Amino acid sequence: MGKRVLLIEDEPNILEAISFILSRDGWTVHTHEDGETAMKKVEGFPPDMIILDVMLPGRSGFDILRDLRASEITKDIPVMMLTARGQEKDRELALRLGANHFMTKPFSNAEVRDHVKELMGA
């Protein structure tokens, strides 16, 4: 398929794990680790889907999501949010800001793969 997933996550090991399983499924995975510059990265090269961590250095995933939805270029890119805080209000906030899916860490690999597949419309 080769559709592009952009993974924005600052934890290198999680980054590596998700990259591995998604690449194995045939997606092209790009990664980015910084909140501050994430928007620039997305707008410069809009992916087909974004996996976005909430807790990022620089700017929170919620801020980035808000920007993504406000930008003409990115407003329709499916976004799956990841958080390790696991609070219900985070989920509500994410969905209200326009996230397409919200996942709490830790998750099973199958969960990630299924949701990516679903959001990609495959």
Contact (CB, 8 A) for 90 and 55? no
Report residue 26 as tokens.
């045939």
**Identity of the amino acid at 53:** D
Residue from 25, 28, 34, 41 touching other proteins (CB under 8 A): that is 34
Minimal distance in Å, beta carbon 72 to other proteins? 5
Nearer to other proteins, 52 or 83 (CB): 83
Apex CA 22: angle with CA 16 and CA 24, to 5°? 100
State the residues that interact with other proteins by CB under 8 A.
10-11, 13-14, 16-18, 20-21, 34, 36, 43, 46, 48-49, 55, 57-58, 71-73, 75-78, 83-87, 104-110, 119-121
